[in-house]
Amino acid sequence: MSTNVRVRFAPSPTGFLHIGSLRAVLFDYLIAKTLNGQLILRIEDTDRKRQVAGAVEGLINILAWAGLKFDEGPQAGGPFGPYIQSERMEIYKEQAEIILKKGAAYRCFCAAERLTEMREQQQAEKKPPFYDRLCRELSQAEIKKKIKDGQPFVIRQKMPLTGEVMVHDELRGSIKFMAASLEDQILIKSDGMPTYQFASVVDDHLMQISHVLRGEEWLSSFPKNFLLYQSFGWQPPKFIHLPLTLNKDGGKLSKRQGDVAVEDYKNKGYLPEALLNFCVLQGWHPSASVKAPKEKTDEILSLAEMIEYFDYKDMGISPAIFDAEKLDYFNGYYIRQMSLEKLAELGRPFMRENLKLTRDRRKQSDDYIKKAIGLEQERLKKLSDLGELTEFFFNDELNYEPELLIWKNLEAKQVKENLRIIYGLLEKIADRDWLKENIEKDMIDYLKTNELKAGDYLWPMRAALTGRAASPGPFEVAQVLGKEESLKRIKMAVKKL
RNA sequence: GGCCCCUUCGUCUAAUGGUUAGGACACCAGGUUUUCAUCCUGUAAACAGGAGUUCGAUUCUCCUAGGGGCUACCA
């Protein structure tokens, strides 16, 4: 038997990648990497009703954006393909015949209406909905006749009527189920497509998957899956059931509560590093014995560091609530760490609206945009904050109330006078000396020699330059704005008072 | 309703049969500072409840409560 570690991520292409799925692939990836195994991408598209055009490409793209590479899959190829379930119909058909022959499954001709009716009645009687196994004991002759008559059928798994089924989860240990509570679940639908319950077991075996990581929502079908492996005579892989990610109210994280699609986060300017760092901490933490270097907090983890410290045995089993504020912290942290070149490149798309606010060529230059972004870098939680935060750099017609210029309890005319003085000082600085260091030096020297209070001058100056209550400092803003624009804005402020 | 899973600060979590129960985010306070942000320092904040085992339980066992999942010809 092969001891090769093979882990698969098996999403169904619903049109977007759920943030919870991103966490799942990350753990798949980490298990594969830390155990020297392969990571396989398999597309589970056996539900015809839920087909979404372009979803597979979208999935592959966003996974690539996240930086997680697959060793095998629809794109990478590999010896166990095809990796898209809808292209594996022959395999399922063949395996269904086998399981039928083994007597571990049977054809069920019950009409959907009968089943619905039965279920409703059972619920009305407060009994658990449960297939009554009407077709389980059909004779060969009856089956033949129904097939000949063209009656549609599904194939159901035959569950033991009595006894217990013991399954083992790598994190939770052994879990016991009463066989009598297990429904004869459908393996093959009447359209010939396999259900997840059949396809995943068949594929995991055929693709030689060693570790199955899946959501906790699959725990209740675990014994049925285990039984299917037994019926086939296959050795089941190791199973790890990942606790669910919950929303703030404690429910399953769903679209209604806000963004759940990784694409949404990407569009808002969240970085893959931040998303991954956030996700990995939901259900895992570096064990105490492998503490990260102390100059960093041990929760800031690059993908490489995760691989270094990860051990799936350290994974937790209690559900975690999605804390968007912590995600923001990570994102802000990674933005601050980023080089200005990279940030300017990634931030550029978020500047589009601002560029429309100016007719000044210089303000539309890459260099100017980059400098504006640079001054707001430490204030960003996400890239999409850039538009609002840098707006004043571009806007030719700053619009603000005159009161904004007034520092504490100064008189308006005093502020006006101070701004005139500032104007005079700035005017004297030569164009080629227009650097924040020089501007600052001239201003501070003046204030010191005349024993003036910094706030009385610097607040009005900054407010005049930015039109905002909160912004980067006046000297650096002045430098980026340039001498001409800075003087223009101060003159305008004087006029306002 | 039935079956199954889970339970440490508000949130993510660490550790331990005997500790001042640790860290991170958020919060609050202070420092740096013209503002905001960054950065630094500090405060406050948790073992769900009950019973048992034990010299001793947050830690082990059981019960209760609470939360969650499943209960489809969806995954």
- Where do the structural domains in chain A lie, given as residue ranges? 398-497
| Nearest residue to A274 (alpha-carbon basis) of A6, A87, A38, A22 | A22
| Nearest residue to A184 (alpha-carbon basis) of A232, A233, A133 | A133
Active site residue A248: no
Closest-lying nucleotide for A321 based on CA to C1': B11
Element (H or E) spanning A176, and its range? strand A173-178
CB A191 within 8 A of CB A153: no
The answer to whether some atom of strand B lies closer than 7 Å to the beta carbon of A174 is: no
CB A92 within 8 A of CB A221: no
- C1' (B47) to CA (A273) span, angstroms: 33
Sequence letter at residue A357: L
From the candidates A255, A291, A296, A453, give the one annotated as an active-site residue. Answer: A255
| Nearest residue to A384 (alpha-carbon basis) of A328, A341, A338, A462 | A328
Q: Does residue A472 have a cis peptide bond before it, meaning omega lies within 30 degrees of 0? A: no
Is the domain defined by A398-497 classed in CATH 1.10.10.350? yes
Q: What is the pLDDT of residue A206?
A: 97
- C1' (B5) to CA (A404) span, angstroms: 57
pLDDT beneath 50, residues of chain A: 1-2, 292-296
Q: What is the pLDDT of residue A334?
A: 97
Q: What is the pLDDT of residue A373?
A: 97
Q: What is the pLDDT of residue A288?
A: 67
Q: What is the pLDDT of residue A1?
A: 44
For the segment 413-472 of chain A, residues whose CB is within 7 A of strand B? 454-455, 458-459, 462, 469-472
- Whole-model pTM? 0.93
Q: Which residues does A241 contact at the CB level (< 8 Å), separation at least 6?
A: A169, A171, A172, A214, A215, A216, A218, A219, A222, A317
Backbone angles phi, psi at A112, to 5 degrees: -55, -40
| Helices and strands, counts by H and E, chain A | 20, 11
